[in-house]
């Protein structure tokens, strides 16, 4: 079996490089026919993954955070089809947020996660697709493993990258508080699986393939990676008082019954253009509305 490891040495504020170096002898022992590649800039992981698959890799392992896993997953697809029907994705998660690790149950310890990959247990997971608008007006299509969202959460995802120092769970909270000062709630008419729906006073909408986002916030506690549906969570009228009051409930996943929360499941969601509201996917900014969110059922083999 030909195995390629795609490593983002800058993830987890640069700690991933040292962690991976300590693990590399065990990787070489577990997978003798191994290629190790390091990303050098945003988007590089997509290109490296695509090249590895086209050269015959059977297993591509993303080493880094949610952003790295997202890039490697995007490299698996071309026009919504797998580049290689025989290839599988593996993940050694070493990032700050590690939201997908929590959702899928990947061990935090990299050695234990490597053993799970070596065992080869595979499940076919759903993958989300976001179509959004770039700043130049062109359309952007991005696959996502974990979630995609619009509004306050997407603005926070943009602002967290501007914070100095190492990213932490506190970084996401600080970014959310800063985003709160700049965002406004708005009423949106959306199309859910072909049917029109009005969502009033929207602060954010999360289209969740998996359970967590924003650095361990359990935004969609009932989400499944294999049911062909996203859990859509809409939170309305968020202000500073509500954020302080309910932040622990969002982290613990006990917020779905709140008056300000609307929750339903869908395979697609279309949101029209509205005041340049931002969107993100797996924590990475992806442009603005208008946007289309979809779920592709069971399309990606994941070794976990």
**What pLDDT does 300 receive?**
98
Domain boundaries, the chain: 3-120, 128-297
More confident residue, 201 or 96: 201
Q: List the structure tokens of 256.
A: 């779905």
The tens digit of pLDDT for each residue in 111-126 reads 999 999 999 999 999 9
Answer whether residue 214 shows pLDDT above 90.
no
The tens digit of pLDDT for each residue in 58-102 reads 999 999 999 999 999 999 999 999 999 999 999 999 876 789 999
| Per-residue three-class SS string for the chain | CCEEEEECCCCHHHHHHHHHHHHHHHHHHHCCCEEEEECCCCCHHHHHHHHHHHCCCCEEEEEECHHHHHHHHHHCEECCEECCCCCEEEEEECCCCCHHHHHHCCCCCHHHHHHHHHHCCEEEEEEEEEEEECCCCCEEEEEECCEEEEEHHHHHHHHHHHCCCCCCHHHHHHHHHHHHHHCCCEEEEEEECCEEEEEEEEEEEEEECCCCECCCECCCCCCCCCCCCEEEEEEECCCHHHHHHHHHHHHHCCCCCCCCEEEEEECEEEECCCCCCEEEECCEEEEEEEEEEEEEEEEEEEEC
**What pLDDT does 167 receive?**
63
Angstrom distance (rounded) from CA 12 to CA 6? 15
CATH code, residues 3-120: 3.40.50.10330
**What pLDDT does 249 receive?**
96
Neighbours of 112 (CB within 10 A): 10
CATH code, residues 128-297: 2.60.200.40
Active-site amino acid positions: 66
The tens digit of pLDDT for each residue in 251-304 reads 999 999 999 999 999 999 999 987 689 999 999 999 999 999 999 999 999 999
Answer whether residue 166 shows pLDDT above 70.
no
């Amino acid at each position: 079996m030909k195995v390629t490891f795609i490593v983002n040495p800058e993830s987890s504020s640069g700690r991933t490089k040292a962690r991976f170096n300590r693990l590399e002898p065990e990787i070489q022992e577990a997978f003798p026919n191994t290629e190790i590649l390091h990303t050098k800039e945003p988007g590089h992981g997509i290109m490296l993954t695509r090249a590895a698959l086209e050269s015959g890799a059977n297993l591509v392992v993303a080493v880094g955070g949610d952003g790295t896993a997202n890039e490697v997953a995007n490299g698996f697809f071309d026009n919504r089809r797998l580049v290689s029907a025989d290839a599988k994705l593996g993940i050694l998660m070493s990032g700050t947020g590690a939201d997908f690790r929590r959702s899928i149950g990947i061990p935090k310890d990299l050695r234990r996660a490597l053993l799970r990959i070596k065992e080869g247990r595979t499940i076919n997971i759903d993958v989300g697709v976001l179509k959004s608008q770039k700043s130049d007006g062109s359309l952007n299509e991005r696959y996502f493993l974990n979630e995609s969202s619009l509004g306050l959460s997407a603005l926070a995802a943009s602002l967290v990258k501007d914070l100095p120092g190492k990213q932490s769970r506190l970084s996401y909270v600080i970014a959310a508080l800063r985003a709160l000062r700049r965002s406004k709630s708005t009423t949106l008419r959306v199309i859910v699986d072909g049917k029109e729906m009005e969502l009033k006073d929207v602060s954010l909408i999360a289209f969740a393939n998996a359970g967590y986002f924003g650095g361990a916030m359990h935004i969609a506690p009932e989400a499944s990676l294999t049911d062909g549906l996203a859990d859509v969570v809409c939170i309305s009228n968020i202000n500073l008082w509500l954020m302080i009051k309910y932040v622990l409930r969002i982290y613990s996943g006990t917020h779905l019954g709140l008056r300000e929360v609307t929750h339903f499941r869908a395979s697609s969601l279309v949101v029209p253009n509205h005041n340049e509201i931002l969107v993100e996917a797996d924590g990475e900014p992806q442009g603005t509305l208008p946007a289309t969110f979809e779920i592709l059922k069971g399309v990606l083999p994941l070794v976990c």
